[in-house]
Structure 1
């Protein structure tokens, strides 16, 4: 296998591990969000997309007759669990979660742009197409988070400054 194809396969495995990590993070976030139904709904929607993304990336790997990397997937899942547990005791978890999610989406965006360029270089039009689809979904999630961050922060401070009133809402 040529060097560029080796990199493509390695980066596809990285992307698969990244999607596995994203799935764990999103599941953890969604399970703890109580007072922000709009965010919870969007996270659950993106969780479904993430599961699909993982399968689509896996299909790209399988076309090269290779399996996903158990080590990378396991490491990604452990990192996601550690991140999720770290936010459990934080009163401002919703804000920190939005920041972390926004940063993670941009890491995914950069990864898929690299995969698209690499797939194009080796002439793998199917991987390129799949990565372009996933890229659009990641960009949409990042844009949604950016658009809703100010409102989320406002809601957080409203709840933080008036805890008795917000528990009645």
Structure 2
């Protein structure tokens, strides 16, 4: 059965919404445990606010298609986000594991938004281009910040461990 570009676009929007639900859960759990890393905590909280905006933009895109989010996908991704954060919290090097995971997740989000942007024209949804581009830009900025700060976070972790010893 052939699937139209619009159908693929709608599925992509639902998947992106679920992806952002997972991101929100990860960021919320991580921000609760970053008191020893105030710069990272501030950036995670700022990106959490961006993520909430991204969720709203995706909901608006879905509404403009006459569609809604997928409660099943959102719930599954919420559970996955909380589970991943909980597993990393049990590790002694939680900050490093979260930094690496966040780096990978940001690039996953970037690819998802690039795919949706590619579909806008074929799906007849040019009106979604600007909100999706805004979300892509936020994800690219967060990915760049993480990339630029892996070394700093690693050094801060080593210093923190030395103080605790």
TM-score by length of structure 2 reads: 0.96
Aligned to 1:121: 122
Aligned to 1:161: 162
CA-atom RMSD in angstroms: 1.3
| Aligned 1:133-152 pairs, distance under 5 A | 133-152=134-153
- Distance in 1 between the 2:40 and 2:160 partners? 15
Q: Flag as ranges the 4+ runs of structure 1 deviating above 6 A.
A: none
Deviates more, 1:60-69 or 1:106-115: 60-69
| Cα displacement (A) at 1:124 | 1.4
- Distance in 2 between the 1:116 and 1:110 partners? 10
Higher relative contact order (CA 8 A, sep 6+): 2
- Distance in 2 between the 1:33 and 1:158 partners? 15
Aligned to 2:133: 132
Aligned to 2:66: 65
| Aligned 1:77-92 pairs, distance under 5 A | 77-92=78-93
Residues 18-73 of structure 1: CA deviation (Å, up to 9, x unaligned): 01110000000000111100000000000000001001001000111111000100
| Cα displacement (A) at 1:121 | 2.1
Is the 2:6–2:124 contact (alpha carbons within 8 Å) kept by the matching residues of 1? no
| Cα displacement (A) at 1:122 | 2.4
Aligned to 1:15: 16
Q: How many residues align?
A: 164
TM-score by length of structure 1 reads: 0.93
**SS of equivalent residue, structure 1 residue 102:** helix
What are the ranges of 5 or more consecutive residues in structure 2 without an aligned counterpart?
Answer: none
Residues 111-137 of structure 1: CA deviation (Å, up to 9, x unaligned): 000000001222311211111110000
What are the ranges of 5 or more consecutive residues in structure 1 without an aligned counterpart?
Answer: 165-169
- Distance in 2 between the 1:74 and 1:89 partners? 23
